[in-house]
Structure 1
Amino acid sequence: MKVISVLNEKGGCGKTTIATNLARGLQLAGESVLLIDSDVQGSARDWGAAQETVDTPVVVGMDRPTLHEDVSRVGEGNDLVVIDGAARAEKMQTSAIKASDLVLIPVQPSAYDIWSSETLVELVEARREVTGRPKAAFVVSRQIVGTNLAAEAQEALESFDLPVLEGRTSQRVIYAEAAAQGLSVVDLDSSSKAAGEVRQITEDTLEILNSQIAKTNGTTQ
């Protein structure tokens, strides 16, 4: 079982949108997936309860800073666990980092959002110095189509010495429409541009995890 956390200290950066759509994307890629909502606001839990007709991942609420102790038990039997992180909760973030094999950091293309990610990056790096994990990568989130902000943000993020996923989300109405129905954008319209964005994020995530497995096994991809 591998654990992926979607974390950022800043609220409103698209964590839940990425976590729910990624969990569903991984499931559609053939993985058995559990989604953990670690935010007391419970947005991912609301998403999971919004419909009963599509076999989306099971959502479990765990909003205490014991994720690193509990996730192996709660996630038993699944290939992957996706944690939707809590904003402004350092203890929860630290626990999620300890539990994770991969941390995805959604960042909106603005200087304020990039600056706010520095503390989280430091927490990840401190954990890596002790255990060698988790891997981490940025995800440009809620980019405005037709502007150069995302490209400028990617250049700024590269100064953190962490990779930036090729996949990114844009400000599209379909994300809100899908969330309200408890679906991913792939379920709502598989031919949409948003669905293509989610597929790319899913592909990038699996590539990182597979490279990690290959390194552990002493093989190359």
Structure 2
Amino acid sequence: MIVALLNQKGGVGKTTLALHLAGAWASRGQRVTLIDADPQGSALDWSQQRSREGLPRLFGVVGLARDTLHREAPELARDADMVVIDGPPRVAGLMRSALLAADLVLIPVQPSPLDGWASAEMLALLSEARIYRPELVARFVLNRCGARTVLARETAETLADHDPPVLVSTVGQRVAFAMSAQSGRLVGELDEGGPAAREIIALSAEIAGLAGSRSTP
């Protein structure tokens, strides 16, 4: 299963979600590879920080920020249960390649008015990819939600009947995620029972359920 986190808008939390989903699945005993397809290499930086801290490797991180991704990712998937692609912002050729590589596309968005959370360009690229990959599944993910905000609820309600639809699980705007990025740790390692860790567990389980439904005849 290849899961790509994509959004041409930067700053929506693609890398944070990619790392934590990879960690959640690896903690359940799955073989996971994360592909850092962002030229900024933030996931690779996190992995290197983890190594400097002497922490055990949870999953492999491979830098692959090139538009041959759709040919190379399936090869990596042969030796993994889950491949997670941390996608690039605003690199159309690389974005198209990631879309063609993926079985499931997750589009992280922040609660905001309609014109803020999804560009027509991103959805156009998704529609284009579905010409070649009609089975491609996509979902919005509400990320960086403020606690008990009306805006988050309204955004979820707006997306409920949208294509792509929105996942039920949401992820909050939490200090723990910033701390994890700096320390090379995951939020579950910083506070196993904390709200951030619980949100990631719920999100990863919902996505795994989508993966299971795809494999069911």
| Class of the TM-score when normalised by the shorter of the 2 chains | over 0.9
Residue deviations 1:24-75, cap 9 Å, x none? 0111122110000011111010111112313321111111111001112234
Q: Secondary structure at the match of 2:121?
A: helix
- Residue 111 (structure 2) aligns with: 109
Residue deviations 1:64-114, cap 9 Å, x none? 111001112234311110000000111111100100000000000012432
Q: Secondary structure at the match of 2:129?
A: helix
Mapped to 2, the partners of 1:34 and 1:66 lie a distance apart of 17
Mapped to 2, the partners of 1:104 and 1:6 lie a distance apart of 5
- Residue 29 (structure 2) aligns with: 30
Q: Report the residue type matching 1:152 in the other structure.
A: E
CA contact (8 A) 1:33 1:79 kept: yes
1:120 corresponds to which of 119, 122, 126: 122
- Residue 149 (structure 1) aligns with: 151
Shift of 1:129: 3.5
Mapped to 1, the partners of 2:199 and 2:3 lie a distance apart of 18
Shift of 1:200: 0.9
Q: Which deviates the most, 85-94 or 66-75?
A: 66-75
- Residue 66 (structure 2) aligns with: 64
Q: Report the residue type matching 1:56 in the other structure.
A: L
TM-score (norm. length: structure 2) = 0.93
* Count of residues paired in the alignment: 213
Shift of 1:159: 4.8
Q: Which deviates the most, 166-175 or 5-14?
A: 166-175
Identity of aligned residues (%): 38
Is 1:43 matched up with 2:45?
A: no
Shift of 1:189: 1.1
1:81 corresponds to which of 63, 80, 83: 83
Runs of at least 4 residues of structure 1 off by over 4 A? none
CA contact (8 A) 1:139 1:168 kept: yes
Mapped to 1, the partners of 2:206 and 2:35 lie a distance apart of 21
Alpha carbons of 1:79 and 1:115: their partners in 2 closer, same or farther (altered >3 Å)? closer
Q: What 5-or-longer segments of structure 2 have no aligned partner?
A: none
Mapped to 1, the partners of 2:140 and 2:161 lie a distance apart of 12
Q: Secondary structure at the match of 1:60?
A: strand
